[in-house]
Structure 1
Amino acid sequence: MSPRTSAPLELLDLDSALSEEERQIRAVVRQLMDERVRPHVADWYEQGQLPARELAREFGKLGLLGMHLSGYGCAGASAVAYGLACLELEAGDSGIRSLVSVQGSLAMYAIWRFGSEEQKQRWLPAMADGEAIGCFGLTEPDHGSDPASMATRARRDGDDWVLDGGKMWITNAPIADVGVVWARTEDGVRGFVVPMDTTGVSTQEIRHKMSLRASLTGEIVLDGVRLPAAAQLPEAVGLKAPLSCLTEARHGIVWGALGAARDCLETALAYAVTRTQFGRPLAGFQLTQAKLADMTVELQKGYLLALHLGRLADAGRLRPEQVSVGKLNNVREALEIARQCRTILGANGISGEYPVMRHANNLESVLTYEGTSEIHQLVIGQRLTGLNAFA
């Protein structure tokens, strides 16, 4: 008979810090992952595919798309509830959480926060239902961590705008119906709501990825794209607007990375108590228990950090540099947990039969996107010292 094990997040009774509603939301998303994603995600990852539209409609039915926004068909859930959903989504796969967070925290949030009433009515209900897919065009081929140097331009031509340039590493781009695209104008950086079937817009899926393979990533090319004046996001002025969208999305990453780490740790724990070497279970060796203990401590610390940031967000007091602390710590620790879990599984750690290497590969992308570790270190450093060390 196998020894009784304890789930990693049960050690400190962290569920007691959640409301009954928050636990119910988490349970619903976890069940969805168990039924709809986990049986198939290894194949999606291996094949570099994702039934994104089908999944988006299912997520829309549960109110997961833009769930922390209010009105326009959005659920109006708390920041903590949204974070718990992200945790469960990424426990399935980082690509699944990326689909939801890019839709809700980047594309939908940008329209919800900075858009006109006409833009909100046109797009948000359809996006909340999963009938319309959105993407967020900020990163460029030569400008990732330094969006202020973006090369995409928007110029006025009569009452219209004309956009030229390109965006790279854009989640959902290959299937998106609408893109929130950021461009430099003579008045600074502005945002535009771009229907992706507009003449001059083309996309190409990025292939041969070693990470986030169960996610649709693409390049957007803008060649003389003519848009009416009404396409501009009226309240988005300057680079602060897209950066605020990134802050919104990073909060989901703070939680989501913990989901990948938890799934790895639960897998390694179950493996260690059943796999026998030298006449006893792997879990019976001191070195293995030391690894499991250290990883569990870091997972719980990250969870407490995420929960604290979520409560601050719900109180309207969350600051960007605080989100940087969460993103820096939780993604970095999640990646280390995935790597350690892989050592416990030995050769099986690289097998697609187990989720550990898939999570580890995915977290290499999560470590980089929406702010590299170095960028978040500089954000925190600037807050501590009052000095800008970005350039």
Structure 2
Amino acid sequence: MSAAPRPPDHGTVLAEVRKVRRAGVVRLREIDTPELSRIAAQLSNSEGELPGTAVERLLRTAVFGIGGGSLQTAAEYTLGLAQGTRDWPPADRRRRAAQVYGVSVERFRKHHELMVLGQIAEQVVGIAVRPPGAAGEPGPGAAGLPAAHRGLRLALHGRTVPVTVHVHSVDLLRDIDVVVSPTNTYFALPAPYKSSVSATLRRAGAHKDPTGGVVEDQVHDELRGWVARHGTPGRAALPGTVVATSAGALAEQGLRRIYHVAVAMPRPETNDYDVQAADVTRGVARVFALLAEESRTSDPPLTSVCLPLLGAGRGGLPPLESFGALWAAVEAELARGADWDIHFVVRRHARADLVERLLAGLADRGTP
């Protein structure tokens, strides 16, 4: 029996992906990438394939596995995988990738590029540890790498409930009616170049021109409009308040609504926030109340909702506590017989594993 593949070190893979960014795929044979070469050789189906060709195929598979959207497009430009960019200098590739996000080259270099390269490395690691026979490049209609969508069936309250855990950035979601976004009690969205869930949804929901420039910051503008109409500019809303906006440009991916949940209370004169688990539970309960209300007047009705781990970022809640708080509201909703299609989204495989373990442990509690 053959030994299981040795899991690669994420840091080592990331360092080699950075080398490829500087050189571009056109110079792959000139740079030293032993870990990428080892993984590529492990997956290669051709004995005579050149190392550089195998590594390029590995990187293309990894970038394809990101699943579309701005992140994949920026990754293609960053490495020189986009059509016609193989021989572009690294500065030109970086400039074009920055335009995808509508930010300056310097801002992209310091923030977005780190995220892009990290996601490529994470996909490579995921490919390396997949079971034999599952590591080929996905076909044209594939939604991404298998590990990015984990379907579960839970026994709860005498019935089977399907739950899906997504392991990728929130802007890669597709065909989900409502995406929940954590925000602060002032409903002030972060700048679109930041990496939080709310910043990512703002950025992805904006309408852009062909060069990547923002034409309409739709999600932000709709949320600001709600604040103005309800007379709360400059005043904090109650924690747990939920405000609905459209999904903006994300409607092209089948997303219909964003529910902004106020769970983060800014600490005066600091850049920090406080999040209480009880406010997460209260906010998610209100998400379901609003979902039921809007579903009755929507055509077709709203049926699916996706939840991140609210407050587990800058809010400071441990992931375990965040999940416990939101699951309390989810389980209460399912216990009364609600038939929503439930999704969770996390960016790290470790958190996805945690969510899966928790769901498995909680499922039997609701069974009579």
If each structure's helix is expressed as a fraction of its own residues, which one has the higher value? Answer: 1
Question: What TM-score do you get using the length of structure 1 for normalisation?
Answer: 0.23
